[in-house]
Chain A
């Protein structure tokens, strides 16, 4: 009989509670548990996404021993933990003394590590290294949501909860494909529809939610700001907004009205590719609903003006009074299992844990006192996406990459590889050999989800405990323990008994989280922050009483002029490439690519979704291999002909090695959040006559990449 270990799914941000079934020290299955967000349900990744723990080596091997090379060009060799820690500590010290603490960049991990290890990582960065140069993959996904919402309503997280989605009367979806990104959130949308909610979808692709929508706006790629302004224009011109709410609880109406004035539906028609009537209809449905929820994803944030568009969506909710009560709100649904938590833990260049600003002298004094250091750095640090440029300018010399794979996930991969080669020290702390680790001087192997415990924060600010199910194989350590050893070797004694001790330390320092004790999160326990005291019930929805987290309590109405996409189409590159997600694979795929069932559903080189008219024009048949190139690179990919994709645009997912779409994307950023414009790259397609040769080339490339990574680990 299998033993059941209650834990939290390590994939998307839906926060599904699940049982791992353990027999003779090995995981043999998974089943849904009755968590608050998932109510017993799981998707394919939850049910069949655990066998990477068996080190299947389908894609890339587990890291089982510390690896080190003292000189570039040498092979990485297995060493003892003592040697790896001493080397890393002394190299970090040398670089810090030679170039200053701000020449070192570190990352947190929004994946399996958990909140405690991320808290320790930012403490190590700030108190031991002495810099605020810490960031993580929120930068390339929902950073604009955090920035845009903080600026308009005060808090960067989802205002309302996943459980409330099914009881709203209108779901307004903008650039968010719930079915592929969060199946267990998509389930709430389906239930809302069954309960009579109206559904409006704005997306260039006919996504699953668009199929069941009451109104679908098949928008043009790159129109977001113009369209959101037009929505605001309609709310004001048709007098659909809530005058009382706007007068009492917001400010900036006149400036807002002035900016959106020119964005009439008729003016925006051509930019957005949808009719003025559709634009008006969308707002009539949204404004008429007694309760309405806006949900958005990467289709809003991965643009050069993502922050402004988030502010614009926030304005729609403020104009209609859809904030501060149940079943309404603004919902940036977070992608990775613990990306909300990694933000919560202050793994960002501008805030300590609990969103306390590094520029605030009082906050610095509090953390310095608690951490036993005389001062903490006062200037916000660098962002993840700035790394290649900073290396070129000689500003960064060392990169400590913890549980991320920038050489797969960041834009313009050629630029990232150059930066990694240029660095004087690259440290990778991970569970799997990945594409970034190829460049490492030191590899520190850690325990995985399933092999350690801690707390994750799911997309709607819910803290939940996850548990250890099996013993790790190999000479690996929990992330927080590795960082403690390093801190100690660098002259800052750090020692924790367990994750609870770390959690209790951070609760003391963060008023937002202080009531969320381990005891309250026992079993299926779910505590949503803000939770300032042990007796506080936690907060299902923010801004109760329409009081916003702003100095004067008022929400800010904000609009900005539309800026067209950065990359330009021309005769040479006439097609738009947009990067998206697929349901069966997660993040950079080191976990799901090593799961047999998930790998059986989809494997290299990944799909290029293309409209049938475009496919005909290029002479491309369904399932054929094709070349796609941009001004930055060229990769091989398999065509999936579908009229769910709009004409003129093609879609790829970013987790593939052979079909790596980030070889093509540009490092053009939003000026505030520094988030790349992954959603718009000028590209060119080439059909391939000799398909058999292309298939053989694909296999050769794939095998060569697998062998290259495996050879580093010596398997």
Chain B
């Protein structure tokens, strides 16, 4: 099962520290000197509706629609995540159309990030949450979130949480004695 970064809207305070951490984690070392509003493209974005605040980012779908529709094989499954091979991206935006969460974008990028020769126009790259694949401490957003609203869930955690929830369900079930209801199994 793929792992993903996910936030708890009950803990998010909408401060956007995660957005800056994300941009810096995916920039060259001198990013703090070169950052500008135009180059500020975090891979998770804090959404604030009337009643919800939370960062939204890639769910690392098992049957990823972005990968399915990509004509050049830019999106691949690697280390239980969906990853981008930038040199293959032609900027066709099929992935943006296919993604149900709005969390993959095709953005202009610097030539140095892509080894594909340019046919025309500008270099582009599909950009999405990569769980900070190349970062020693893992996802930067998880590390900086001041309320610890963001975490990584992998197969083991899913299994553990599922077990806990089923245990809780069992307790609830015992407490409400379904057997006493007429028409239930056993009657």
A binds B: yes
Distance from A90 Cβ to chain B, minimum over Cβ atoms (Å):
43
Q: How far is it, in angstroms, between the C-alpha of A138 and the C-alpha of B9 when the chains are bound? A: 34
Q: Which B-chain residue is minimally distant from A603 (CB atoms)? A: B37
Task: Judge whether A47 and B52 touch: CB under 8 Å.
Answer: no
A-B interface contact total, Cβ < 8 Å: 89
Q: How many residues of B contact A (CB 8 A)?
A: 31
Task: Judge whether B20 and A183 touch: CB under 8 Å.
Answer: no
Task: Judge whether A183 and B13 touch: CB under 8 Å.
Answer: yes
**What 0/1 readout, one digit per residue, does chain A (464-478) give for beta carbons within 8 Å of chain B?**
000000000000000
Task: Judge whether A43 and B35 touch: CB under 8 Å.
Answer: no
Task: Judge whether A206 and B20 touch: CB under 8 Å.
Answer: no
Task: Judge whether A44 and B17 touch: CB under 8 Å.
Answer: yes
Task: Judge whether B32 and A183 touch: CB under 8 Å.
Answer: no
Q: Which residues 611-653 of A have a CB within 8 angstroms of B?
A: 642-644
Q: How far is it, in angstroms, between the C-alpha of A644 and the C-alpha of B32 when the chains are bound? A: 32
Q: How far is it, in angstroms, between the C-alpha of A206 and the C-alpha of B48 when the chains are bound? A: 11
Task: Judge whether A600 and B50 touch: CB under 8 Å.
Answer: no
Task: Judge whether A601 and B19 touch: CB under 8 Å.
Answer: yes
Provided the pairs A41-B146, A642-B50, A644-B48 are in contact, do residues A597 and B35 lie with their beta carbons within 8 angstroms? yes
A-side interface size class? 20 to 34
Partner of A601, one of B11, B33, B40, B144: B40
Task: Judge whether A51 and B147 touch: CB under 8 Å.
Answer: no
Q: Which B-chain residue is minimally distant from A643 (CB atoms)? A: B50
Q: Which residues 24-57 of B have a CB within 8 angstroms of A?
A: 24, 32-37, 39-40, 48, 50-53
Partner of A43, one of B10, B15, B23, B24: B15
Q: Which B-chain residue is minimally distant from A48 (CB atoms)? A: B20
Task: Judge whether B35 and A190 touch: CB under 8 Å.
Answer: no
Partner of A642, one of B21, B24, B39, B48: B48
Q: How far is it, in angstroms, between the C-alpha of A47 and the C-alpha of B24 when the chains are bound? A: 11
Q: How far is it, in angstroms, between the C-alpha of A183 and the C-alpha of B53 when the chains are bound? A: 14
Provided the pairs A44-B20, A597-B20 are in contact, do residues A190 and B13 lie with their beta carbons within 8 angstroms? yes
Provided the pairs A596-B32, A597-B35, A600-B37 are in contact, do residues A211 and B16 lie with their beta carbons within 8 angstroms? no
Q: Which B-chain residue is minimally distant from A596 (CB atoms)? A: B35
**Chain A contacts of B144 at CB under 8 A?**
42, 47
Q: How far is it, in angstroms, between the C-alpha of A187 and the C-alpha of B146 when the chains are bound? A: 7
Task: Judge whether B16 and A190 touch: CB under 8 Å.
Answer: no
Q: Which residues 509-561 of A have a CB within 8 angstroms of B?
A: none
Task: Judge whether A47 and B17 touch: CB under 8 Å.
Answer: yes
**Chain B contacts of A599 at CB under 8 A?**
37
Partner of B51, one of A187, A194, A211, A583: A211
Interface centre among B19, B36, B53, B147 (most CB of A within 10 A): B147
Task: Judge whether A600 and B17 touch: CB under 8 Å.
Answer: no
Task: Judge whether B20 and A47 touch: CB under 8 Å.
Answer: yes
**Chain B contacts of A194 at CB under 8 A?**
11
Residue A208 interfacial (CB < 8 Å): yes
Residue B14 interfacial (CB < 8 Å): yes
Task: Judge whether B13 and A186 touch: CB under 8 Å.
Answer: yes
Provided the pairs A211-B53, A642-B48 are in contact, do residues A596 and B146 lie with their beta carbons within 8 angstroms? no
**Chain B contacts of A339 at CB under 8 A?**
none
Task: Judge whether A597 and B24 touch: CB under 8 Å.
Answer: yes
Interface centre among A42, A51, A190 (most CB of B within 10 A): A190
**Chain A contacts of B20 at CB under 8 A?**
44, 47-48, 597, 600-601
Residue A212 interfacial (CB < 8 Å): yes
**What 0/1 readout, one digit per residue, does chain A (22-33) give for beta carbons within 8 Å of chain B?**
000000110000
Task: Judge whether A596 and B36 touch: CB under 8 Å.
Answer: yes
Q: How far is it, in angstroms, between the C-alpha of A642 and the C-alpha of B53 when the chains are bound? A: 13
Task: Judge whether B16 and A601 touch: CB under 8 Å.
Answer: yes
Distance from B146 Cβ to chain A, minimum over Cβ atoms (Å):
5
Q: Is the interface of B mostly helix, strand, loop or mixed?
A: loop
Task: Judge whether B32 and A600 touch: CB under 8 Å.
Answer: no
Provided the pairs A42-B144, A211-B52, A597-B20 are in contact, do residues A183 and B15 lie with their beta carbons within 8 angstroms? yes
Distance from A227 Cβ to chain B, minimum over Cβ atoms (Å):
23
Residue A184 interfacial (CB < 8 Å): yes
Task: Judge whether A179 and B14 touch: CB under 8 Å.
Answer: yes
Q: Which residues 46-62 of A have a CB within 8 angstroms of B?
A: 47-48, 51, 54
Distance from B12 Cβ to chain A, minimum over Cβ atoms (Å):
8
Task: Judge whether B10 and A600 touch: CB under 8 Å.
Answer: no
Distance from A438 Cβ to chain B, minimum over Cβ atoms (Å):
26
Q: How far is it, in angstroms, between the C-alpha of A48 and the C-alpha of B9 when the chains are bound? A: 23
Task: Judge whether B32 and A597 touch: CB under 8 Å.
Answer: yes
**Chain B contacts of A206 at CB under 8 A?**
50-51
Task: Judge whether A644 and B13 touch: CB under 8 Å.
Answer: no
**Chain B contacts of A13 at CB under 8 A?**
none
Interface centre among B15, B35, B39, B146 (most CB of A within 10 A): B146
Residue A584 interfacial (CB < 8 Å): yes
Q: Which residues 307-362 of A have a CB within 8 angstroms of B?
A: none
Q: How far is it, in angstroms, between the C-alpha of A614 and the C-alpha of B153 when the chains are bound? A: 41
**Chain B contacts of A600 at CB under 8 A?**
20, 23, 35-37, 39-40
Q: Which A-chain residue is minimally distant from B52 (CB atoms)? A: A211
Q: How far is it, in angstroms, between the C-alpha of A644 and the C-alpha of B10 when the chains are bound? A: 17
**Chain A contacts of B14 at CB under 8 A?**
179, 208, 583
**Chain A contacts of B147 at CB under 8 A?**
183, 186-187, 190
Q: Which A-chain residue is minimally distant from B20 (CB atoms)? A: A597
Q: How far is it, in angstroms, between the C-alpha of A458 and the C-alpha of B16 when the chains are bound? A: 24
Q: How far is it, in angstroms, between the C-alpha of A600 and the C-alpha of B24 when the chains are bound? A: 12
Q: How far is it, in angstroms, between the C-alpha of A193 and the C-alpha of B11 when the chains are bound? A: 9
**Chain B contacts of A187 at CB under 8 A?**
13, 146-147
Task: Judge whether B32 and A42 touch: CB under 8 Å.
Answer: no
Q: Which residues 89-129 of B have a CB within 8 angstroms of A?
A: none
Partner of B21, one of A47, A54, A208, A211: A47
Q: How far is it, in angstroms, between the C-alpha of A400 and the C-alpha of B13 when the chains are bound? A: 39
Distance from B34 Cβ to chain A, minimum over Cβ atoms (Å):
8
Q: How far is it, in angstroms, between the C-alpha of A163 and the C-alpha of B32 when the chains are bound? A: 32
Q: How far is it, in angstroms, between the C-alpha of A29 and the C-alpha of B20 when the chains are bound? A: 13
**Chain B contacts of A29 at CB under 8 A?**
32
**Chain B contacts of A51 at CB under 8 A?**
32-33
**Chain A contacts of B53 at CB under 8 A?**
208, 211
Partner of A179, one of B13, B24, B36, B37: B13
Q: Which residues 45-80 of B have a CB within 8 angstroms of A?
A: 48, 50-53
Interface centre among A184, A208, A603 (most CB of B within 10 A): A208
Q: How far is it, in angstroms, between the C-alpha of A54 and the C-alpha of B146 when the chains are bound? A: 26
Interface centre among B12, B50, B149 (most CB of A within 10 A): B50
Task: Judge whether B16 and A44 touch: CB under 8 Å.
Answer: yes
**Chain A contacts of B9 at CB under 8 A?**
211
Provided the pairs A42-B144, A47-B144 are in contact, do residues A179 and B35 lie with their beta carbons within 8 angstroms? no
Task: Judge whether B37 and A183 touch: CB under 8 Å.
Answer: no
Task: Judge whether A212 and B10 touch: CB under 8 Å.
Answer: yes
**Chain A contacts of B13 at CB under 8 A?**
178-179, 183, 186-187, 190, 208
Q: How far is it, in angstroms, between the C-alpha of A44 and the C-alpha of B55 when the chains are bound? A: 15
Q: Which B-chain residue is minimally distant from A644 (CB atoms)? A: B50
Q: How far is it, in angstroms, between the C-alpha of A42 and the C-alpha of B40 when the chains are bound? A: 21
**Chain A contacts of B149 at CB under 8 A?**
190
Q: Which residues 196-251 of A have a CB within 8 angstroms of B?
A: 206, 208, 211-212
**Chain A contacts of B17 at CB under 8 A?**
42-44, 47, 183
**Chain A contacts of B37 at CB under 8 A?**
599-600, 603
**Chain B contacts of A186 at CB under 8 A?**
13, 146-147
Distance from B142 Cβ to chain A, minimum over Cβ atoms (Å):
13
Other A-B contacts than A179-B13, A186-B147, A190-B13, 7 sampled, CB-CB below 8 A, are A43-B15, A44-B16, A51-B33, A183-B146, A211-B9, A211-B53, A597-B32
Closest 5 CB pairs of A and B: A179-B13, A44-B17, A600-B40, A596-B35, A643-B50
Q: List 20 A-B contacts (CB under 8 A).
A: A28-B32, A41-B146, A47-B20, A47-B21, A48-B24, A51-B32, A179-B13, A183-B147, A190-B10, A206-B50, A208-B53, A212-B10, A596-B32, A596-B33, A597-B32, A600-B39, A601-B20, A603-B37, A644-B48, A644-B50
